[in-house]
């Protein structure tokens, strides 16, 4: 896979391209991530763990805020269902109690379209309970109001590169992620 080719196209057309760039840290701020239970153990992480499927695993198999023991037990359950651990990704649980806004935003010719929730739960669950929409200046206002200036700038840089992509994000009232002075995690950038 070639980064220059993806950037030249300005689109991310499948999960393979997305995971390739995400793994490189291309989208900026993200939670601590691991590729295996062994990596989690070696890191010494003691906080909550999220499990997500990659490579064709349905979203309903995702789990949030697990202990290390619960993570190991769930991996064993998935193995029995025929899902190998190599098709799973892991990240630190995010501080949902500090969520202020999360959702998906698209910028089309400088007009913003935002689908979001303010429910303090993982995004899929939050959107099931509350799905709000904002367009244009209202969407832009919500982004500027809730994202730290550095996180807002990161979002604009992604839109400059991937102008027609959907950007999935979560913003908190505290600093989060692997980059300093950011309150927003970029979960996904996609055109698929």
Q: What are 132-167's pLDDT values in tens digits?
A: 999 999 999 999 999 999 999 999 999 999 989 999
Q: What are 33-43's pLDDT values in tens digits?
A: 898 999 999 99
Dihedral angle, C-alpha 42, 174, 140, 12, nearest 10 °: 0
- DSSP-H helix ranges across the chain: 3-9, 15-23, 37-43, 68-80, 123-129, 136-146, 149-161
Are residues 106 and 144 both part of a single domain? Answer: yes
Question: Domain of 154?
Answer: 96-190
**Does residue 188 register a pLDDT over 70?**
yes
What lies within 8 Å, CB to CB, of 5 at 6+ separation is none
Are residues 37 and 115 both part of a single domain? Answer: no
pTM of the predicted protein model: 0.83
- CA 13, distance to chain mean position in Å, is 17
Residue 13 domain-assigned (yes or no): no
Domains in the chain, number: 2
Quote the tokens at residue 34: 């691991």
**Distances from the Cα of 145 to the Cα of 72, 173, 174, angstroms:** 39, 11, 14
- CA 49, distance to chain mean position in Å, is 14
């Amino acid at each position: 896979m070639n980064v220059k080719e993806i950037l030249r196209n300005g689109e991310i057309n499948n999960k393979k391209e997305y995971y390739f760039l995400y793994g490189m840290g291309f989208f900026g701020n993200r939670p601590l991530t691991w590729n295996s239970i062994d990596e989690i153990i070696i890191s010494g992480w003691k906080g909550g763990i999220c499990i997500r499927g990659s490579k064709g695993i349905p979203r309903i198999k995702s789990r949030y805020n697990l202990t290390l023991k619960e993570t190991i037990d769930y991996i064993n359950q998935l193995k029995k269902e025929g899902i190998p651990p190599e098709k799973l990704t892991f990240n630190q649980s995010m501080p949902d109690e500090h969520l202020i806004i999360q959702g998906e935003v698209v910028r089309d010719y400088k007009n913003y379209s935002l689908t979001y929730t303010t429910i303090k739960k993982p995004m899929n669950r939050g959107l099931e309970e509350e799905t709000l929409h904002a367009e244009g200046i209202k969407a832009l206002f919500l982004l500027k109001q809730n994202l730290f200036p550095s996180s807002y700038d990161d979002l604009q840089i992604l839109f400059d590169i991937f102008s027609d992509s959907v950007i999935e994000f979560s913003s908190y009232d505290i600093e989060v992620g692997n980059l300093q002075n950011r309150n927003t995690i970029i979960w996904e950038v996609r055109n698929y």
